[in-house]
Structure formats: structure tokens, C-alpha cells
């Protein structure tokens, strides 16, 4: 049974829970289709508390809640709510889709781990450079690349981009002869692409594989799922 987070009007509770608009849920209540603790309630202003169970036509209604979703983003989708281009939100069939925002965007041609939520405080915790949440990217290159100590030192000291922008310390590692890993703590515009440019690396494909301690696991390209409490701990550990 899901609990109501605080005392509030019944019509507000149902509207927030996406049962319908405020006017629609008022009509449902007045028609006798809503029960609170198994008793019919016809007054939209009736107050419900966290101990109450609310049903509409026999179905228990979840209280409005904070939602955290991970998506394995394919290339070709934008990390916005744009109606002119294919948005990542089109891939997420969830009751709260209309109020979700992206916690750390990915470029249209970049794949991988993307977080969506309706929790602004969580988003700030994830994207703020001051919080030092790691974001790891795998970069497939046009030709073989050898990561050396000079590259590692440049990133560890804070790489300077071609336009003079100084980045926070980062890490670069060799995955195989044509794949490298770059781990950052911030998210500047086109940052990974600009880092590759500054290092003279021609990238072919970029994929975000990790945020904090959370990885894609077996989530297939284009698939999504809600995060568990354990996932959230991994993100912020």
C-alpha cells in the first residue's frame, strides 16, 4: 500500500497522482467512485493523510512521488523536451513523463546512461561540479590511440581546451587499441568532444557508461527502468 505524503485535499491528491485534471477528479469524487479507507467520499475538499488508503473505482492510487529513471539513450535523440526533434522522453512510457527533466544531458549523437527525474534537488546533486559525481565515457576512435603518461598528466592537472577553457581534473585510461575511457566531474558544452579535439583524438562513437557507481548493466539500447534505493546509493556514493 502506498502512503499519502501529507494531509491534503482529496481532489489535489488525485490530480497530483495523475488520475485526471482537477475538474475531472472532482467529478469522479462527486459521482461516488472514490473511497478513502473503504468508505465512499463525495466531498473533493475532504482531507487525506499518510495513514489513508485512497481508491478510485476499486483501484488503489499511489501518491505523487519523486521518480528516478535510467535510460540507455540511443544516438539520434535529443536530451530536451523539443517537439521539433525526437526527444528521449518519447522512449519513456511512464505516468510521470510529462514532468520529467534530464539530469545531465547527452549530445544527440552520443549514446549511453541518461538520468530522468522530477526531483530538482537530485539533479543539482548529480550535475554540480562541486559534488564530484563521476561521469565515465567510452570513446571509440577513428584509428588506434595510445594513452600515455603525458595525456594522463594533462587531464589530471586540468586540461585546457583550444578556446582557453580550463577543465577540472579528469582521468583517461586505455580500454583497447581503439577505445579509451575518460572520466570527468563536470558537464560543459560538448565537453568530451572538445577534450578529444584538444588531445588530437578523432572520435567515432561516444557512450556514457557510468554515473557515480551506477552503470548501464544489462539495460539494452533504448530501454529504461526506474532506479531502486540501491541504485540511488550507488549514484551518490
Taking phi first (over 0 means left), then psi (-120 to 50 degrees means alpha), and beta for anything else, what does residue 122 get?
Answer: alpha
Distance set, CA 191 to CA 159, 185, 188, 195, 200 (Å): 11, 11, 5, 6, 14
40: confidence class by pLDDT, cuts 50, 70, 90 = very high
What pLDDT is recorded for position 27? 95
For the chain, the domain total comes to 2
Write the secondary structure of 214-226 as one string of H (helix), E (strand) and C (coil): EECCCCCCCCEEE
177 is in which domain, residue-wise? Answer: 134-211
3: confidence class by pLDDT, cuts 50, 70, 90 = very low
- Give the CATH number of the domain where residue 144 resides: 3.30.70.1560
User: Is residue 68 a part of any domain in this protein?
Assistant: no
- Give the CATH number of the domain where residue 18 resides: 3.10.290.10
Using CA atoms of 127, 132, 133, 135 in order, give the dihedral in degrees to the nearest 10: 90
- Give the mean pLDDT of 33-50: 94
The residues assigned a catalytic role are 107
The model's pTM: 0.83
User: Is residue 81 a part of any domain in this protein?
Assistant: no
User: Is residue 142 a part of any domain in this protein?
Assistant: yes
Q: Taking each helix axis from N to C terminus, what angle separates 149-157 and 191-199, rounded to the nearest 10 degrees?
A: 140
DSSP 104: S
User: Is residue 223 a part of any domain in this protein?
Assistant: no
What pLDDT is recorded for position 17? 87
Which range among 87-101, 167-181, 197-211 shows the weakest confidence by mean pLDDT?
A: 87-101
What pLDDT is recorded for position 65? 86
Amino acid at each position: 500500500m502506498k502512503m499519502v505524503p501529507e494531509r491534503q485535499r482529496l481532489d489535489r491528491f488525485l490530480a497530483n497522482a495523475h488520475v485526471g485534471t482537477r475538474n475531472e477528479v472532482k467529478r469522479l469524487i462527486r459521482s461516488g467512485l472514490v473511497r478513502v479507507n473503504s468508505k465512499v467520499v463525495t466531498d473533493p475538499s475532504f482531507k487525506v493523510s499518510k495513514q489513508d488508503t485512497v481508491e478510485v473505482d476499486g483501484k488503489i492510487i499511489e501518491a505523487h512521488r519523486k521518480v528516478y529513471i535510467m535510460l540507455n539513450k540511443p544516438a539520434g535523440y535529443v536530451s530536451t523536451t523539443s517537439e521539433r526533434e525526437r526527444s528521449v522522453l518519447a522512449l519513456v512510457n511512464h505516468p510521470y513523463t510529462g514532468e520529467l527533466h534530464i539530469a545531465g544531458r547527452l549530445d544527440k549523437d552520443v549514446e549511453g546512461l541518461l538520468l530522468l527525474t522530477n526531483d530538482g534537488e537530485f539533479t543539482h546533486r548529480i550535475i554540480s561540479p562541486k559534488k564530484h559525481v563521476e561521469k565515465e565515457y567510452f570513446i571509440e576512435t577513428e584509428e588506434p590511440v595510445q594513452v600515455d603518461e603525458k595525456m594522463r598528466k594533462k587531464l589530471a592537472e586540468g586540461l585546457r581546451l583550444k578556446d582557453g577553457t580550463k577543465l577540472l581534473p579528469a582521468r583517461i585510461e586505455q580500454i583497447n587499441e581503439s577505445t579509451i575511457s575518460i572520466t570527468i566531474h563536470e558537464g560543459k558544452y560538448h565537453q568530451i568532444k572538445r577534450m578529444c579535439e584538444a588531445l588530437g583524438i578523432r572520435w567515432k562513437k561516444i557512450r556514457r557508461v557510468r554515473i557515480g557507481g551506477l552503470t548501464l548493466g544489462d539495460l539494452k539500447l533504448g530501454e529504461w527502468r526506474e532506479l531502486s534505493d540501491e541504485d540511488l546509493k550507488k549514484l551518490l556514493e
